[in-house]
């Protein structure tokens, strides 16, 4: 056997030990492998959000009816979205805090649009385990920092919806949004 | 496979002979769970739970396939079709209660099966592969149970799905895309429900396939036994049928009695009332808890409240929870003691029972609200859980002095019978104690 292979490699591979048949074998299997991987891509990608889900990926919100001190609860990407019209007192309270002392340091400016500091737009999804915090509805418990309070594990958010107490690691997420007019925003 | 003295399959009826020549399936069954499989003669009732787990899987598949006939996997109708199954479908209530409580019983017997394996060292060589495949089954069961719980589309279904898929969101960088990919959206929705239904239907059959591998791997060295001493000859074994089919049959009877008590008298005892409220993405139940069989792991998940070394607490919790199970894959190599059975390992035995209490404490904390003192207890109990496997067990294996092992299974059985025989003879005042009939 050895002698036959020896002759083979001599004859076909020019002496470097790799036979032509080995090359064809590896090339064929690699080609099939690349094909198999290519087939897996759609099999995995089909699980990503479909076009109709993505079509609902942005939400318009009318702000005209929200009075200072009020908040509304709507949905963005089928998750709760809080839009709060801050009072001057709430803004002052948020500004009073030294941002660098916070768990997730951010100032109110960084969390709102320039010149429209009174409009606080955040996801209504606690950054701990995804519960919906209380505080957007009239008369709901807003926690000891006057913003939002998550009843699941007791996370308290302040008037800028920054995490102040409890197990949540981050501030309530501010989604990407822009003002389409003075009284309307487009989220997403 | 099996021992040389195993009974041989010799079909007498010509039809059976004809089948055996064409497709030796009856032969396979005979050699696997019939008279052709010699089993140690000293197995106790803890060896029932493998068969009981198989029985529970069959109950789940039968009731589950029937429920799928009445279920609509769409967020608009899912909750309604489940209620319809309960109220309108003939015997629908029985199917659903049997399926929901069957899941609990499946986990009860599987936990006892794992408990047996841990105490008697069943995971040790040459049965490592049996242990590893068992853990794969356990992981598949957990995934299946989780997805099944989402299907009724109640409040706990929805928020459970959100919290559990949120665990993947804790992974840095790729976490959120993975979460979105798992759900097929930004929150649990119709796409999530459909895929969970599809996979919940598929996975039990995958489990059944891995169960076959589990039994196959078991039958190569043969079953372990309470002494942990290997089979030495034909005198150490009895055929599986009729000896253990009878013993397992008795166990199955007890299992079904207990199952019926829960099913017919307290079918909602282990459930959550919140799951009879339809899913509402805008309102979170005050107290989200998973089903009881996830509680110990849920406690470990929630035990991390502070960041360590810039790793967020949430990610630590997720890593710890997965490690709590993945660590068990290394158990055969963490416990290096050559003695298998806990009966002959005095130090191991003590720590084993501490571990069991520890896991029960974790389970209790996992079902309790996430507040003090439960969080602190979870932290201590969680740390102990890892310490048991990673520190205590390897140390015991090195320093423990095990008790003398019996020479063989037969010897241990006969010794026990002799002692029993002498005790029986005492009140009889017999001058000559009855010779044990096993002599």
Do residues B100 and B276 make contact, with C-beta atoms less than 8 angstroms apart?
no
| Beta pairing partners, A181 | A184
DSSP code of residue A145: T
pLDDT tens digit sequence for A16-44 = 678 899 999 999 999 999 999 999 999 99
pLDDT tens digit sequence for B16-30 = 999 999 999 999 999
Residue B348 lies in a domain: no
* Alpha carbon separation from B72 to B148, B184, B191 (Å, rounded): 13, 18, 13
Between B45-54, B366-375, B397-406, the lowest mean confidence (pLDDT) is in: B366-375
| Beta pairing partners, B278 | B154
Residue B210 lies in a domain: yes
Q: Name the active-site residue from B124, B162, B224, B291.
A: B291
Is B219 labeled as ligand-binding? Answer: yes
The yes-or-no answer on residue B248 being catalytic is yes
pLDDT at B127 > cutoff 60:
yes
* The token pair that represents B211 in the structure block: 């169960």
Q: How far apart are CA B362 and CA B382, in angstroms?
A: 7
Q: Name the active-site residue from B104, B122, B223, B412.
A: B223
Which residue segment(s) compose the domain that B140 sits in?
37-301
pLDDT at B432 > cutoff 70:
no
Which residue on chain B is closest to A125 by alpha carbon? B282
Which pLDDT belongs to residue B348? 96
Between A1-15, A136-150, B214-228, B247-261, the lowest mean confidence (pLDDT) is in: A1-15
Complex ipTM? 0.71
pLDDT tens digit sequence for B375-396 = 899 999 999 999 999 999 999 9
Residue B7 lies in a domain: no
* The token pair that represents B342 in the structure block: 């806990």
Interface test with A, best of B281, B284, B298, B310 (most A CBs within 10 A): B284
End-to-end CA distance of chain B: 30
Is B214 labeled as ligand-binding? Answer: yes
- B112 vs chain A: nearest CA distance in angstroms? 31
Residue B390 lies in a domain: no
pLDDT tens digit sequence for A107-165 = 888 888 888 888 999 999 888 878 888 888 888 888 888 889 887 777 889 888 999 88
Do residues A122 and A136 make contact, with C-beta atoms less than 8 angstroms apart?
no
Q: How confident is the model at residue A15 (pLDDT cuts 50, 70, 90)?
A: low
| Beta pairing partners, A113 | A116
pLDDT at B330 > cutoff 90:
yes
Which residue on chain A is closest to B282 by alpha carbon? A80
* The token pair that represents B411 in the structure block: 């010897």
- CA contacts within 13 A on the Cβ side of B176: 4
Which pLDDT belongs to residue B116? 97
Which pLDDT belongs to residue A2? 47
Residue B296 lies in a domain: yes
Residue B320 lies in a domain: no
Which pLDDT belongs to residue B139? 96
Residue B409 lies in a domain: no
Q: How far apart are CA B191 and CA B203, in angstroms?
A: 18
Cβ-Cβ contacts under 8 Å between A and B: the total is 72
Interface test with A, best of B186, B317, B318 (most A CBs within 10 A): B186
Which pLDDT belongs to residue B433? 42
Over the range B215-225, which residues count as b (16 or more CB within 10 Å of their CB) and which as e?
eebbbebbbbb
Over the range A112-136, which residues count as b (16 or more CB within 10 Å of their CB) and which as e?
beeeebbbbbbbbbbbbbbbbbbbb
> What is the DSSP annotation of B36-81?
TSEEETT--GGGGHHHHHHHHHHHHHHHHHHHHTT---STTTHHHH
Which member of B284, B302, B305 has the closest CB to residue A151?
B284
Q: Count Cβ atoms below 10 Å from residue B378 Cβ, excluding itself.
A: 26
pLDDT tens digit sequence for A77-106 = 888 999 999 988 888 888 888 888 888 888
State the Cα angle at B359 between B358 and B362, rounded to 5°: 90
Is B287 labeled as ligand-binding? Answer: no
Say whether A132 and B312 touch across the interface (CB within 8 A).
no
- B310 vs chain A: nearest CA distance in angstroms? 12
Q: How far apart are CA B258 and CA B248, in angstroms?
A: 15
pLDDT at B434 > cutoff 70:
no
Say whether A75 and B284 touch across the interface (CB within 8 A).
no
Q: Name the active-site residue from B122, B192, B236, B247.
A: B247
Q: How confident is the model at residue A9 (pLDDT cuts 50, 70, 90)?
A: very low
Which pLDDT belongs to residue B12? 92
Say whether B184 and A77 touch across the interface (CB within 8 A).
no
Which pLDDT belongs to residue B316? 87
Please provide the average confidence, as pLDDT, over all residues in chain B: 91
Say whether A129 and B163 touch across the interface (CB within 8 A).
yes
| 3-state secondary structure at position A91 | helix
Which pLDDT belongs to residue B421? 59
Do residues B409 and B234 make contact, with C-beta atoms less than 8 angstroms apart?
no
Name the domain count of chain B: 1
> Crossing angle, helix B49-68 and helix B92-119, to 10 degrees?
150
| Residues on chain B touching A129 (C-beta within 8 angstroms) | 162-163, 166, 288
- A87 vs chain B: nearest CA distance in angstroms? 25
Q: How far apart are CA A172 and CA A81, in angstroms?
A: 10
Which pLDDT belongs to residue A115? 81
Do residues B105 and B259 make contact, with C-beta atoms less than 8 angstroms apart?
yes
Residue B8 lies in a domain: no
Secondary element (H or E) of residue A72: strand A71-76
* The token pair that represents B186 in the structure block: 């930004």
The yes-or-no answer on residue B241 being catalytic is no
Q: How far apart are CA B56 and CA B112, in angstroms?
A: 13
Alpha helices for chain A (secondary structure H): 2-13, 20-45, 51-55, 88-96, 108-111
| Residues on chain B touching A152 (C-beta within 8 angstroms) | 284, 286-288, 370
Which pLDDT belongs to residue A1? 43
pLDDT at B171 > cutoff 80:
yes
Is B200 labeled as ligand-binding? Answer: yes
Which residue on chain B is closest to A58 by alpha carbon? B186
Site of tokens 């166990």: B251
> Is B284 in the A-facing interface, judged by CB distances under 8 Å?
yes
Secondary element (H or E) of residue A156: strand A156-158
Averaged pLDDT for residues B97-107: 97
Do residues A12 and A19 make contact, with C-beta atoms less than 8 angstroms apart?
yes
Q: Hey, which residues 192-221 in chain B have their CB within 8 Å of chain A?
A: 195
The yes-or-no answer on residue B219 being catalytic is yes
Tell how far CA B323 is from the center of its chain: 18
Do residues B67 and B99 make contact, with C-beta atoms less than 8 angstroms apart?
yes
- Which CATH number belongs to the domain containing residue B237 in this structure? 1.20.810.10
pLDDT tens digit sequence for B283-298 = 888 778 899 999 999 9
């Amino acid at each position: 056997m050895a002698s036959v292979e020896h002759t083979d490699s001599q004859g076909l591979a020019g002496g470097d030990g790799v036979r032509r048949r080995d090359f064809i074998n590896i090339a064929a299997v690699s080609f099939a492998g690349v094909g198999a991987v290519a087939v897996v891509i759609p099999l995995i990608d089909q699980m990503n959000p479909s076009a109709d889900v993505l079509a609902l990926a942005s939400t318009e919100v009318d702000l005209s009816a929200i009075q200072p001190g009020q908040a509304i609860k709507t949905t963005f990407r089928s998750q709760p979205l809080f839009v709060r019209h801050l009072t001057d007192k709430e803004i002052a309270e948020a500004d009073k805090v030294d941002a660098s002392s916070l768990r997730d340091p951010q100032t109110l400016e960084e969390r709102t649009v320039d010149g429209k500091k009174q409009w606080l737009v955040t996801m209504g999804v606690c950054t701990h385990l995804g519960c919906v915090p209380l505080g957007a509805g009239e008369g709901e418990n807003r926690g000891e920092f006057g913003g939002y309070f998550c009843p699941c594990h007791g996370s308290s958010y302040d008037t800028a919806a920054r995490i102040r107490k409890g197990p949540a690691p981050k501030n309530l997420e501010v989604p990407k949004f822009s003002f389409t007019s003075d009284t309307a925003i487009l989220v997403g | 496979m099996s021992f040389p003295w195993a009974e041989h399959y010799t079909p007498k009826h010509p039809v059976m002979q004809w089948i055996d020549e064409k497709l030796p399936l009856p032969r396979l069954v005979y050699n696997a769970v019939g008279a052709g499989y010699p089993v140690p003669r000293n197995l106790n009732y803890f060896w029932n739970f493998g068969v009981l787990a198989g029985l529970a899987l069959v109950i789940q598949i039968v009731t589950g396939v029937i429920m799928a006939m009445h279920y609509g996997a769409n967020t608009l109708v899912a909750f309604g079709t489940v209620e319809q199954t309960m109220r309108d479908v003939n015997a629908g209530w029985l199917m659903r209660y049997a399926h929901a409580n069957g899941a609990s019983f499946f986990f009860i017997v599987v936990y006892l099966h794992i408990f047996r394996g841990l105490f008697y060292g069943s995971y040790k060589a040459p049965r490592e592969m049996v242990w590893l495949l068992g853990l794969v089954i356990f992981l598949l069961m957990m995934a299946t149970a989780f997805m099944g719980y989402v299907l009724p589309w109640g409040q706990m279904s929805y928020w459970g799905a959100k919290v559990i898929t949120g665990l993947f969101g804790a992974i840095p960088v790729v976490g959120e895309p993975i979460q979105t990919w798992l759900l097929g959206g930004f929150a649990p929705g119709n796409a999530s429900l459909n895929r969970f239904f599809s996979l919940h239907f598929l996975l039990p059959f995958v489990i059944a396939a891995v169960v076959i591998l589990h039994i196959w791997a078991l039958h190569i060295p043969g079953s372990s036994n309470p002494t942990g001493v290997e089979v030495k000859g034909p005198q150490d074994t009895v055929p599986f049928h009729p000896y253990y089919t009878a013993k397992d049959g008795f166990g199955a009877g007890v299992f079904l009695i207990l199952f019926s008590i829960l099913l017919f008298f307290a079918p909602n005892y282990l459930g959550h009332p919140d799951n009879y409220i339809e899913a509402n993405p805008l309102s979170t139940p005050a107290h989200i808890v998973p089903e009881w069989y996830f509680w110990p792991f849920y406690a470990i998940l929630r035990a991390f409240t502070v960041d360590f070394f810039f790793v967020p607490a949430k990610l630590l919790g997720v890593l710890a929870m997965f490690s709590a199970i993945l660590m068990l894959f290394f158990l055969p190599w963490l416990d290096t003691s050559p003695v298998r059975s806990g009966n002959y390992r005095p130090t191991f035995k003590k720590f084993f029972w501490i571990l069991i209490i520890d896991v029960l404490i974790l389970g209790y904390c996992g079902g309790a609200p996430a507040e003090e003192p439960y969080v602190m207890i979870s932290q201590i109990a969680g740390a102990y859980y890892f310490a048991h496997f990673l520190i205590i067990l390897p140390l015991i294996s090195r320093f423990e002095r095990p008790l003398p092992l019996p020479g063989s299974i037969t010897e241990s059985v006969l010794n026990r019978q002799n002692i029993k025989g002498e005790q029986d003879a005492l009140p009889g005042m017999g001058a000559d104690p009855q010779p044990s009939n096993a002599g």
